[in-house]
Amino acid sequence: MNKVPRNTTRDFLSCATLTLLATGFSVNVQATEGGGSSYPMGTESYMVGAMAPPGFYGIVYASHYEADARIDNNGNKRPGDFQLQSNAITPRFIWVTDQQVLGGNVAFHAIMPLVDLKVDLNGQSQEQKGLGDMTFGTGLGYHLTDKLRSIVGLDVVAPTGEYNRNDLAKLGRNYWDIRPVWALSYIDPLGLNADAKIMYDFNTKNNATDYTSGQEFHVDYTVGWGLGKGWVVGVGGYVYQQTTDDRQYGERIENSKGLALAIGPAIKYASASGWFLTAKWQQETEVLNRAEGNAYFLKLAVPF
C-alpha cells in the first residue's frame, strides 16, 4: 500500500477522538444527559482522514470553550444566568503498525484529557480540575488515490473522569460511549483540501441517574485551499444531530433531541521537518436543547 508523504501526514489516525472539552456539566438542559456529549464537537480539521506511516506519534491538543446561553427545543434562550468555561490540554499517543487488515494499515491510540471546567448557574458556581473520560481506539488507514485518503475505526470512551451526580460541574459522564468513525481527506498542496470525520455514538446508561442519553450523529468538517509551502487556509466546524430520544427510569423523554451547527476559520501548517500545527475557531448556531457558544482549538503533532 502506498504511504502518505511524511510532511503531509501529521494528523495521524484522526478518525479517533479526544474527549471532554465542555461536556461534563450537569445543568438543566435537555438533549443527552446534562446537554453534553463525550466528544467535543468540531475538534478535528485538516488531514483528518490521513494515517501516518508505521511508527509512534504524539499529538497535544489545547482547547477552550465558552458558552453563555442554554437553548430550548424551540430555539429560544432559557431564562436564568449561565456561564460555562472549559480549558483542556489533551495528550494523545498513537501507534501505527506495519500490519494490514482488509488492505488497511492497523493503528491504535489513547487520549487523556486534562480538563479545567467551570460552571456558573443562577448564583451557584463550581470549578473542577482533573482527568476527564479517556478514549481508546483502533483504525485502518487507506491511501485510496494520490490525493484521497480514508480511515475507518472504532473508539471507546471510558468513564475515567471524576463524577458526582450532585456536582454542577462534572469531569466525567459516568457511562461508556461506543463510537464508529469514518474519516475522509482530499489533499492538494496547491488546491482544494476537503475533510470530514463522520461519527455515530451509542451511549450506555449512567447507573447513578438511570439515564440513557440518545444516540448521536455528528461530523467535523473543513474546506480549504492549499497555498503551498505547507499552508492551507479555509473554514471548518461541525454538524450535530441527536437521532434518538433520551430515556430515564424506563420512560422516553420527548422533545429532547439536540441539534447544532458550527463554522469558523481554520488554518494548517505542515513543516518539511515533520511537525504539524492546526488552529481553529468556531461559532455555534442553529442550536436546540444544548448550550450555545464558541470554541478555540490548537493541535501540535510530532513524531517520536
pLDDT at residue 31, as a whole number: 66
Phi then psi for residue 9, to 5 deg, are -130, 30
CB 247 within 8 A of CB 212: yes
Question: What is the reported pTM?
Answer: 0.88
For cell 481554520, what's the residue?
A: 266
Q: How far apart are CA 39 and CA 276, in angstroms?
A: 22
pLDDT at residue 15, as a whole number: 33
28's CB contacts (< 8 A; 6+ apart) are none
Using DSSP, state whether 34 is helix, strand or coil. helix
Q: What is the pLDDT of residues 1-17, one digit of tens each?
A: 333 333 333 333 333 33
Q: How far apart are CA 7 and CA 25, in angstroms?
A: 39
CATH of 6-303, one of 2.40.160.40, 3.40.1790.10, 1.25.40.320, 1.10.10.10: 2.40.160.40
Q: What is the pLDDT of residues 208-262, one digit of tens each?
A: 999 999 999 999 999 999 999 999 999 999 999 999 999 999 899 988 899 999 9
pLDDT at residue 5, as a whole number: 38
Q: How far apart are CA 179 and CA 135, in angstroms?
A: 10
Residue numbers in the chain where pLDDT is lower than 50:
1-29
Q: Give the CB-side neighbour count of residue 175, counting CA atoms within 13 A.
A: 27
Q: Give the CB-side neighbour count of residue 172, counting CA atoms within 13 A.
A: 22
Using DSSP, state whether 8 is helix, strand or coil. helix
Q: How far apart are CA 147 and CA 125, in angstroms?
A: 49
Evaluated on CA atoms 187, 264, 230, 273, the torsion sign reads negative
Q: How far apart are CA 10 and CA 31, in angstroms?
A: 34
Residue 240 CA, chain-centre distance (Å), reads 11
Burial class (CB in 10 A: 0-12, 13-18, 19+), 214: buried
Q: How far apart are CA 162 and CA 130, in angstroms?
A: 8
Of 54, 58, 96, 18, nearest in space to 301 by CA: 58
Q: How many residues does the chain have?
A: 304
- The grid coordinates of residue 211 equal 439515564
Of 257, 223, 216, nearest in space to 239 by CA: 216
Between the two ends of the chain, the Cα-to-Cα distance in Å is 23
